[in-house]
Amino acid sequence: MNEAEARPDSLRVAAIGDLHVHQSGRETLEPLFDKISQNADVLALCGDLTHLGLPQEAERLADELRSCRVPVVAVLGNHDYQSGQADEIKKILRNGKVVVLEETETFTLKGVGFAGTKGFGGGFDRHMLAPFGEDEIKHFVTEAVNESLRLEVALNSLRTEKVVVVLHYAPIAATVMGEPPEIFPFLGSSRLAETIDHFDVNTVFHGHAHHGTYEGKTMKGTPVYNCCMQIMEKVRPEAPYALIEV
């Protein structure tokens, strides 16, 4: 789409994931956030916002987000849980006026509702892992199911005509294509897509699969975009973020 033009009845959503902000990194995201502010109505961050899940990294991101002049919604990713301080990271982001999407926290702007969750692995379609065998396998599958239930709770709470879902893990196999097939079960789960397709969702954004594919659809036909920065730098090098009208 032309970044300078948008339908008057639409919302321009910018989305990007896997920023992997380092505590002592030299590069700044401020120019990117400034550009997004010029072309979008809202920014969705799709997890792995920090590199090691450190509060100092979240503080740096929150500081750089001051250059973003549109509302920001976000979900955490697996990297944000690395140091066991995910709650502190959420607190820092919320203090920076970021809406961290969870089952009890959604966001609405101009008639568009935003719901989200981190998601989890488990595989796709007929290759989804089943809760059978060792307790460790059952726990893994239970976490995937619980993440889908959290998303269902959030979607149930929305009463908007249009809906956007923000995830970290992929809900479909199509957008992880390009990654080694051996790691597909750790990149996402069709349980997320099953939940999404129970609702009238307009668009889904996720990250996590750095070598995946930009675009796909759920079984119901809902567009899904893998907008991790590593992919967006190839798809839109002049503006490395997804920009979708909803």
Rounded average pLDDT per 10-residue block, the chain, 246 residues: 56 98 88 96 98 97 96 98 98 97 96 98 94 95 97 97 98 98 96 98 98 98 97 95 97
- 3-state DSSP assignment of residue 215: strand
| Domain ranges (residues) in the chain | 12-245
The H-assigned helical ranges of 50-174 are 55-64, 86-95, 135-157
Report the CATH fold assignment for 12-245.
Purple Acid Phosphatase; chain A, domain 2 (3.60.21)
Q: Is there a contact between 103 and 151 (Cβ–Cβ < 8 Å)?
A: yes
pTM, rounded to two decimals: 0.94
Q: How far apart are the first and last CA of the chain?
A: 12
The per-residue pLDDT for 2 is 35
Residue pair 101/206 in contact (Cβ under 8 Å)? The answer is no
Helices (H) and strands (E) in the chain, counts: 6, 11
